Amino acid sequence: MDRTLSPTAGSAHAVGLAEWLKRRAARAPHKPALTCDGVTWNYGELMDRVERLSTVLAEGGVAAGMRVGYLGFNDPMLLVALFATARIGAIFVPLNFRLTGHELAFIIEDAGIHTLMVGESHLAVIDEVRSGLHCARYLHRAGGAEGWESTDALMAAAIGKPLPAAVPARADDTALIMYTSGTTGHPKGAMLTHGNFWANNLNEIFLWDLASTDVKLNFAPMFHVGGLLCGTLTTLMAGGHLVLQRAFEPQAVFDAIAQYRVSVTFGVPAMLLFMSQHPSFEGADLSSLRSIAVGGAPMPEPLLRLYASRNIPVHQGYGMTETASMITFLHPDRTIDKLGSAGTPPILTEIKLLGANDEEITAAGATGEICVRGANVMAGYWNRPDATRAVFTDDGWFRSGDVGYRDAEGFLYICDRLKDMVISGGENVYPAEVESVLYDHPDVAEVAVIGAPDERWGERVVAVVAPKPGKSVTLEDLHAFASDKLARYKLPKELRIVEALPRNPTGKVLKAKLREHNVPAATA
């Protein structure tokens, strides 16, 4: 990778992932660090496992710059593998456990993974495509299957062995390659550096006031930037207690919050929606929570109001894989008077808005593409120099592809993705605005707004609705409900009824899949 492609490379001092964990463990080795399935490791135990796995990886031929992949559900070993890989100067690649074998094979080969670690539930999907892979080594917790080595046995054998030398990390050294969702074409691998992690952790510590007394619950998938970076690694850096769940299940979330007195957590709006619809929501003991951060999609105002009525602080954040998570965050004391805002940038990050001709937009209320600069911005896309150049301006700003505006105080509001914007009769319609209004309809459980080709208007606004159980919704109902809240050109001209919206593993609605079905159901 040509380091000159990234305008932000090396722009901040940083301590490498493995080094800061080592320092944290030395400060409080007996303090609880990580709990999963009722088993807790303290910081000393966590660091011991990191060091032993680094021995296993190094003895298997992994050297600085090589890639180590991990495929499986949330597991403590994913974090052990991340830190162990960083300790020897290699690069970690977390893989999306929802992908097919064909999709995984593309990423594994694109990243050039040397050693692939796989959980029990995903052995079969890799075995299906293994003949076409070029990995040098395959590790599985118990081994046993042909060609699979046992991670547990190798780590046990590493007890007492001399440790491989730790490789000091520079701020602009790539620590992790995280692949984007690939909604258009093949996914791209965002190269996140040790400096990116350092900057994001500091941003979150300052904004969340994270401390060693905090308990963070993570149920979001850690192959995704939200699950891995939104408070998860930050909690360990701060010396707090991380409670890890293998998957999202509302009742398990309620139980863990009560049992461990969880103080902070993160989820996408869909997760909070499903929690609010669970029968246990009203009676759940959530009194220990001082912050639920949300990101990944716009948070409908009705859902924010519902959590506020339970005195549960929900704070809107905005980030991307390419920015090592955080771009802006709405501070708790502005949640009510800035309802719907994504907030302001953290201390190590800055934003600006650009117009269609790359002119800077400064007027309050005027929309433009959100651009980001800071030590948290990625080094670029793995093996994609052209794609890297395309997303950076000449003076070093990362183009988010999102449309937004700022109010008179500088608070950012996200309108939508540039590619999701509907242009109907020459007017721009931002789906997130329409969705937020329609979510308030008493019979609507979920809604997504997309555009469809229209001979008269160019595009028409389409509402895809999943009604609440036992309820029905008509286009006339939606018009009657929203006509005093939305301009006429923003009202849906077509309604499609579905049982549930298609979502990816991180909870984002798959609008591309919705657009594949362009047969009108009911139009006006």
Instruction: Specify whether the CB–CB gap between 239 and 379 falls below 8 A.
Output: no
List Cα–Cα distances, 507 to 61, 181, 245, 311, 511, in angstroms: 37, 12, 16, 24, 12
Whether 137 and 210 map to the same domain: the answer is no
pLDDT averaged per 10 residues in sequence order, the chain, 524 residues: 40 79 97 98 98 98 98 97 98 92 93 96 94 96 88 96 96 96 71 97 92 97 93 97 96 98 92 92 94 80 84 86 93 78 94 94 95 97 95 95 93 79 72 86 94 81 94 94 84 94 78 70 52
**Mapping DSSP to helix (H, G, I), strand (E, B) and coil, where does residue 415 land?**
strand
Please report, for the domain that includes residue 219, its CATH number.
3.40.50.12780
List Cα–Cα distances, 280 to 161, 250, 292, in angstroms: 50, 9, 18
Whether 158 and 90 map to the same domain: the answer is yes
What predicted TM-score, i.e. pTM, was given to this entire model?
A: 0.82
Whether 380 and 437 map to the same domain: the answer is no
User: What per-residue confidence (pLDDT) applies to 161?
Assistant: 95
Please report, for the domain that includes residue 441, its CATH number.
3.30.300.30
Domain limit, last residue, from 115, 149, 168: 168
Residue 288 domain flag: yes
Whether 144 and 253 map to the same domain: the answer is no
User: What per-residue confidence (pLDDT) applies to 129?
Assistant: 95
Residue 320 domain flag: yes
**Dist. CA 58–CA 354, nearest whole Å:** 46
Whether 413 and 434 map to the same domain: the answer is no
Residue 281 domain flag: yes
**Dist. CA 248–CA 278, nearest whole Å:** 13
**Dist. CA 303–CA 438, nearest whole Å:** 12
Whether 412 and 438 map to the same domain: the answer is no
Residue 215 domain flag: yes
Residue 222 domain flag: yes
Please report, for the domain that includes residue 112, its CATH number.
3.40.50.980
Residue 68 has φ and ψ, to the nearest 5°, of: -120, 125
Whether 301 and 370 map to the same domain: the answer is yes
Tell me, rounded to whole angstroms, the distance of Cα 181 from its chain centroid.
Answer: 10
Residue 191 domain flag: no
Whether 164 and 281 map to the same domain: the answer is no
Containing domain of residue 250, as a range? 196-418
Whether 377 and 230 map to the same domain: the answer is yes
Instruction: Specify whether the CB–CB gap between 212 and 28 falls below 8 A.
Output: yes
List Cα–Cα distances, 48 to 26, 42, 68, 78, in angstroms: 11, 10, 19, 15
**Dist. CA 197–CA 212, nearest whole Å:** 18
Whether 301 and 378 map to the same domain: the answer is yes
Residue 444 domain flag: yes
Whether 369 and 393 map to the same domain: the answer is yes
Domain limit, last residue, from 418, 452, 482: 418
User: CB under 8 Å to 299, separation ≥6 — which residues?
Assistant: 269, 272, 314, 316, 340
**Mapping DSSP to helix (H, G, I), strand (E, B) and coil, where does residue 282 land?**
coil
Q: How many domains does the chain have?
A: 3
Domain limit, last residue, from 357, 386, 418: 418
Residue 414 domain flag: yes
DSSP string, 65-115: T-EEEEESSS-HHHHHHHHHHHHTT-EEEEE-TTS-HHHHHHHHHHHTEEE
Whether 250 and 397 map to the same domain: the answer is yes
